[in-house]
Amino acid sequence: MREPRRARYLAPATGDDTDVVIETAIETLASLRGFHWQSDAATRLHLLTSLMAETERRLPRAVADARDQDCSWAQIGDLLGTTRASAQQRYRGLTAINRTPLNPD
């Protein structure tokens, strides 16, 4: 049985807003690491892949938090730009260990 179409589909997107954020992140990371020659292609590649690696490191926690907020695997798959099955296969085992700790009130 097919799951009904979700009302809010938000696939990954790029555009001017994303470009500004990434450029700012590259410049900031270069400054923090003491690189003064960020226009050098190898340095820029290093900075960009560093940002990608950090993003990949954070995804399991983001997925776990989305599951805690009752997002379905289909919704998570949509947000990741993949299928429900692919998202579930990749992150199911990681969600339990990557939960954001609750702040006791």
19-74 confidence digits (pLDDT tens): 999 999 999 999 999 998 767 899 999 999 999 999 999 999 999 999 999 999 99
Q: Please state, in angstroms and as integers, the Cα–Cα distance from residue 37 to each residue in 41, 47, 48, 82, 83, following that order.
A: 9, 11, 14, 36, 40
> Domain range spanning residue 39?
16-98
Phi-psi region of 35 (alpha: psi -120 to 50; beta: other; left: phi over 0): beta
> How far apart are alpha carbons 43 and 12 in whole angstroms?
26
In a domain, 103, yes or no: no
Average pLDDT of 75-102? 84
In a domain, 58, yes or no: yes
State the total domains in the chain: 1
Q: Please state, in angstroms and as integers, the Cα–Cα distance from residue 58 to each residue in 6, 14, 38, following that order.
A: 25, 19, 25
Is a pLDDT exceeding 80 seen at residue 2? no
